[in-house]
Amino acid sequence: MDVLILHPSTFRKSYGEYAEAGGRMPPLGICFIAAVLEKNGIDVGILDADILDLTFEQTIKEIEKKNPKILMISILTATYDAVVELSNALKKRNPNLKIIVGGPHLATDSESTMNNKCFYVGVLGEAEYTTLELVQHVLKSKDIHNIKGILYMTKEGLIKNPPRELIQNLDELPMPAYHLLPSMDLYHPQIHTYRHKPVVPMVTSRGCPYRCIFCDQGIFGKRFRYTAGKKIVDQIEELQKRHGIREIAFQDDLFTLNKKRVYEMCDEIEKRKLKIAWSCISRADCLDRDLLKRMKKAGCWMIALGIESGNQEILDFIKKDMKLERIREVTDWAYEEGIKVRGFFQIGHPKETEQTIEETLNFAKSLKIYTAEFTISTPFKGTELYEIAKDYGTFDTSDKSYFSKMFPVFTPKGLTQEFLLKKQKELHRRYYLRPKKILEFALLIRGFGDIKRYWAGAKILLK
């Protein structure tokens, strides 16, 4: 095998007691890279050690069995320590193995990452075409040092080549290589975020023009680029034929930013008479009532909105550029059109207090939304929040595996880590363990599978 792309197994460590209720979805980023390599004649495979629940030793054994010339790993901050440990072990056993790394953590912490001698080269930015050129050069033993978008260590220090231009036309990318993954039946979103299995995620746009202080735009940039509506539906049809897919979870950060292409996609779904359920992620100011009506007709059953806080001053401070009144208006529209809303909230923002956290819970309970998820504000390197965190509280970066939005690595002044962890659990209990919400979920049960997944969530609430 020329190239093996690894999705490391660190899920349970990163998400702790919430792991059982969490989603485990196909790793789309590496599927895009694999598809581009495969299209260009490179023998490539994917090892999803996470979904296969492989131990450290089993992962090494599987990699050695496949015996790739190149191993590629995408690093998140939460997976950094595990990836370094694994890579050192692999290099010790096979010094000739070339390990190429990429991902969000590398983009924001390049030098300390590449100081690890186990890593051969790093890939920055959008990885598809940089990886293709790099792999082609390595396999042919050609000089790599002028390839755009890579970085590497020399005796003189870190060398960072000029960046590669962003992909302007996403329509030119092939469909992600889902076929290189284990069975689609193994994957599932979070317990309450799907209706039908198998479910497949799709990402059909890149870039975000907004300025939230907790988001990193280091890989995809601010310019919004997208796949055309017709091509999206072409891929949905192919997924139905190949994998029997019954539902799509669009994971774009701003699926409805370009409304024209959403209308185009909805028209194509109806024109081809496709039976497909789907959900997406967006912002309240990127939706209107007419669009919601059209999306519902074309199979959309749920929209996730980043609400973040129920306190307007907090929203303004984190530069969400959103009014609470707009959120309420849009969630009311969605409810009236029959689309469920999944609300994303964070606690532990700078300037957060016990009172503002209470306001967030009360706001969530007052909205006509389906679910509320309360994560903990996490200052990732490369974000404005990372730069200002120490001015507004304590910031512990000693254990990178805690950078998962489930643990308080940042604690605002006046609060404690213990308080935030306790409050996170309390908010979930107080939101879900209400007669109205329990009845709502009970009425959604259609079979044993529904009972099983909702019970998994209930067990966590009751711990």
Phi/psi of residue 264, nearest 5 degrees: -60, -45
**Count of positions (residues) in the chain:** 463
Please, what is the end-to-end C-alpha distance for the chain in angstroms?
A: 46
Helices then strands, each counted (H, E), the chain: 17, 17
Residue 19's pLDDT is 57
C-alpha closest to that of 394 among 354, 350, 356? 350
CB atoms within 10 A of CB 149: 22
Reference 194, options 458, 446, 7; nearest CA is: 446
Q: Which residues make beta-bridge pairs with 201?
A: 249
> In the Cβ-directed half-sphere of 19, how many Cα atoms lie within 13 Å?
12
CATH of the domain spanning 188-432, picked from 1.10.1420.10, 3.30.70.260, 3.40.50.300, 3.20.20.70? 3.20.20.70
Rg (CA), the chain: 22
Burial of 117 (0-12, 13-18, 19+ CB in 10 A): exposed
For residue 100, what pLDDT is reported? 98
Q: What are the DSSP calls for 260-298, one per residue?
A: HHHHHHHHHHHHTT---EEEEEE-GGG--HHHHHHHHHT
Chain centroid to Cα 160, Å, comes to 26
Tally of CB atoms within 10 A around 340? 22
The pLDDT of residue 324: 98
Burial of 349 (0-12, 13-18, 19+ CB in 10 A): buried
Q: In this predicted structure, what is the pLDDT of residue 10?
A: 67
CB 417 within 8 A of CB 357: no
Tens digit of each residue's pLDDT, the chain (463 residues) = 999 999 998 655 555 555 555 678 899 999 999 999 999 999 999 999 999 999 999 999 999 999 999 999 999 888 999 999 999 999 999 999 999 999 989 988 899 999 999 999 999 999 999 999 999 999 999 999 999 999 999 999 999 999 999 999 999 999 999 999 998 888 888 878 888 888 999 999 999 999 999 998 878 888 999 999 999 999 999 999 998 999 999 999 999 999 999 999 999 999 999 999 999 999 999 999 999 999 999 999 999 999 999 999 999 999 999 999 999 999 999 999 999 999 999 999 999 999 999 999 999 999 999 999 999 999 998 899 999 999 999 999 998 888 888 999 999 999 999 999 999 999 999 999 999 998 988 888 888 777 777 777 777 777 7
The pLDDT assigned to 217 comes to 81
Q: Where are the alpha helices (DSSP H) in 367-462?
A: 384-388, 417-432, 435-442, 448-462
CA dihedral for 398, 403, 406, 409, sign (positive or negative) = positive
Place of tokens 């009506």: 293
Nearest to 459 by CA among 421, 432, 440, 423: 432
Closest alpha carbon to 363 in 293, 312, 437: 312
With beta carbons less than 8 A apart as the criterion, state whether 356 and 364 touch: no
Q: What is the rounded (10 degree) CA torsion for 417, 423, 424, 426?
A: 150
The pair of three-digit structure tokens given for residue 362, joined into one six-digit string:
């009360």
CATH classification number, 3-160, choose in 3.40.50.880, 3.40.605.10, 3.30.420.40, 3.40.50.280: 3.40.50.280
For residue 432, what are the CA distances in angstroms to 218, 232, 332?
36, 35, 19
Q: Where are the domains of the chain?
A: 3-160, 188-432
- Amino acid 15: pLDDT: 54
The position carrying tokens 């990886």 is: 131
